[in-house]
Amino acid sequence: MRRAVLTVALLALAAGLTVASEDPTPPIFSYCLAPPLSFTLEIRPLLLGGKGVQLLHHRADKRLNMLLVSSFLDRSLYYSSDMGRSWTRVPDSSRWAWRAGFVTEEGNFLVWEGHEVRLLDRAGKVLATQPDAPHIWHGSEGIGQAGRTIIYAEYSVRQAEEVRVFRSQDRGRT
pLDDT tens for residues 100-143? 889 999 999 999 888 889 999 999 999 999 888 888 887 777 89
pLDDT for res 173: 93
Q: Are residues 27 and 78 in the same domain?
A: no
In a domain, 72, yes or no: yes
pLDDT for res 19: 40
Q: Which domain range does residue 6 map to?
A: 1-45
- Is residue 11 within 8 Å of 69, Cβ to Cβ? yes
pLDDT for res 45: 61
Domain count, the chain: 2
Split at pLDDT 50, 70, 90, the class of 148 is very high
In a domain, 14, yes or no: yes
Q: Are residues 146 and 157 in the same domain?
A: yes
- Is residue 10 within 8 Å of 18, Cβ to Cβ? no
Quote the DSSP letter at residue 90.
P
Residue 25 pLDDT > 80, yes or no? no
Q: Are residues 90 and 163 in the same domain?
A: yes
In a domain, 111, yes or no: yes
- Is residue 88 within 8 Å of 79, Cβ to Cβ? yes
